[in-house]
Structure 1
Amino acid sequence: MAEIVFEDLVRAHRRELLVHCYRLLGSVTDAEDVVQEVLLAAWRGLDDFGHRASVRTWLYRIATNRCLNALRDRARRPPPAPVPPFTPPTPSRFGELTWLQPYPDTLLEGMPATDPGPEARYGAREAIELVFVTALQRVPPRQAAALVLCDVLGYPAAETATMLDLTPTAVKGLLQRARASVDRDRDGVSRQPAPGDTDLVRRFADAYSADDIDTVVALLTDDVWLSMPPAPHEYHGLAAVTGFLRAGADWRAGHRFRLHHVGANGQPALACAFDDGRPAGLFVLTLAEGRIRGLTRFLDERLLRYL
């Protein structure tokens, strides 16, 4: 009987808890592990719950603090960097967010329709985009937690303070710093899909599959970036990205990629495979003003099982 009661309490919240943990951790595999811990902790604490808060708030409090524990205990040990199959051009810089993973749109299906309330500053779509999740990874964990609880989920500062065991004044300070950092990193990238986006993605897929690098480059913005988690190499600016794309095409020497459309982070995404069927990672595209501003290529083919 207790198992049935518990399952009834948490069933509607599993998927939104997974999204919440993903935002804070930047990794869907880590988020899955933490959600299992959350459900176990909730099961053990069911007798003490006593409905002093809503089930949703109770679960979010457990999930947020479990994420903070995971971030502290793990100290962000980076995954092993893959060995490049060719000598790449010198990167613009070496990034630190090598644990970043995409979030499959299939896991967003069936999410309960919840009203985040007037406190929220970000819509559900923009709060799952890669540029937003990436920005969260660059701020201290408590700042990220305060921002997600207040500005994504719409909890008031006073309630957020209770969930984080802080004072409302402390939460307001965390929010102020986190908002400045996240807004700077997002730099106005987020927007609603434009009518030509589907055609733009198709043109990119066709050109990249054909190793037509000139056409690919014509689709990019001047300030385009390319990153490749878990590899730390990042390329920023049209010249740097073009150099990397040409080096990759030269290495393939006629062994073409096949790309097919999938969904990740509410953005256009393309699964890659060599022409012999071997998986070759996943592109998530960030679009801006009718062009491609960001190319995030996830090299771990195990991620394809989520799509």
Structure 2
Amino acid sequence: MNETEFADLTELHRSELRVHCYRLLGSVDEAEDLVQETFLRGWRARDQYAGRASLRAWLYKIATNACLDFLGRTSHVVPFVDLPPASSSHLAPRPAAAVPWLQPCPDDLLDAVVARETVELAFLAAVQHLSPRQRAVLILRDVAGWTAKETATTLETTPASVNSSLQRARAELKEQLPSRRTEWRVESSGDERAVVSRYIAAITAGDDQAIAAVLRDDVRCSHQPGAGGHVGTTPTWYGGLATVLEGWAPVLRGPDSMELRMRFVRANGGPAVATYLRHDGAFHAFGLNTLLIVDGAVAEVTTFVPSVFEAFGLPAVLPD
């Protein structure tokens, strides 16, 4: 098999390998790099393949171990984030922004057959709290649907060890995910785009009444460090309609208010909005907001840093 033939065959699996690496790493940029590493490792080891297993399974094994090697070299540690008071903790799951390296993924980069709940930001953020090997076991067994034997072969361990790791991973994941499933997975509906349109119109107009009408009373808002104009090294996290309106006030109205433009995009199977602020005579990327819509209103807004715009094909500065 020459290099061109190898590239043609492996390229067919790029999309699903990217999603697999994304689940393990939580970063679109790192997933892209690890897919390239997978293909490079595959080319170097092509003589070991020899058709003894499916090409897909062989590439998954290489990709999984490449990600584990990467995680072994990095210090991805989720920082401690204060939880809300016990009386309200059941209403406020850990925000995706609590994982600093987590990036939203454009729907265009997701495989069409991907189950939405396995790429939701809340799920991916929860997975990042698992050890690297637990992540691999959970994703291969519960997401990819591999058997314990197949997973053990990939990870060069035993089925008994895989089953033990899976049990621990499931227990930890349950602790990290919101207790109510609807808090982290919401089915799309025909009204979703209409809600986003109302949200964009209300925000760009700086209309408090219209904003309040499109947000839930228990709305939550979180920012990655440096996102949406927030500074610091830890996520910013607040909730409740009055608190959110107060937090957004400096940008939306008053002497320091700024002109905004917003673009609708889709990320991780749900709606998102790219926000630009006008300064120095142009509209500059400000933050990408993923939206959780529940019962026709925005229940959660998570703001990511402008550097994620590139993956969505969005410019850093809007043309005039």
TM-score above 0.5 = yes
**Is the contact made by 1:282 and 1:301 (CA closer than 8 Å) also made in structure 2?**
no
State whether structure 2 residue 201 is matched by structure 1 residue 206: yes
* Residue correspondence of structure 1 range 76-87 to structure 2 within 5 A: 76=76
1:36 positional shift: 1.2
* Residue correspondence of structure 1 range 97-108 to structure 2 within 5 A: 97-108=99-110
2:301 is matched with: 295
State whether structure 2 residue 275 is matched by structure 1 residue 272: yes
1:105 positional shift: 1.5
1:52 positional shift: 2.1
**Cα separation, 1, equivalents of 2:201 and 2:263:** 10
Q: 2:288 aligns with which of 282, 292, 296?
A: 282
2:46 is matched with: 46
1:5 positional shift: 2.5
**Cα separation, 1, equivalents of 2:127 and 2:225:** 17
Count, aligned residues: 283
1:251 positional shift: 7.2
Q: 2:115 aligns with which of 111, 116, 124?
A: 124
Q: Report the TM-score, using the length of structure 2 for normalisation.
A: 0.80
* Residue correspondence of structure 1 range 1-307 to structure 2 within 5 A: 2-76=2-76, 96-108=98-110, 111=111, 124-184=115-175, 185-186=177-178, 187-188=180-181, 189-231=184-226, 232-238=234-240, 239-250=242-253, 253-275=256-278, 276-307=282-313
Return structure 1 stretches of 4+ with deviation > 4 angstroms: 93-96
**Is the contact made by 1:267 and 1:285 (CA closer than 8 Å) also made in structure 2?**
yes
**Cα separation, 2, equivalents of 1:290 and 1:296:** 18
1:217 positional shift: 3.7
Q: 1:50 to 1:30 in 2, by over 3 A?
A: same
Q: Which segments of 5 or more consecutive residues in structure 1 lack a partner in the other structure?
A: 79-92, 114-122
Alignment RMSD (CA, Å)? 2.6
* Partner AA of 2:74 in structure 1: R
**Cα separation, 1, equivalents of 2:134 and 2:218:** 28
**Is the contact made by 1:235 and 1:241 (CA closer than 8 Å) also made in structure 2?**
no
**Is the contact made by 1:225 and 1:234 (CA closer than 8 Å) also made in structure 2?**
no
1:301 positional shift: 3.7
Q: Secondary structure at the match of 2:257?
A: coil
**Can you list the C-alpha shifts for 1:99-125, whole angstroms capped at 9, x where unaligned?**
1111112223xx476xxxxxxxxx622
**Cα separation, 1, equivalents of 2:174 and 2:216:** 20
* Partner AA of 2:13 in structure 1: H
Q: Report the TM-score, using the length of structure 1 for normalisation.
A: 0.83
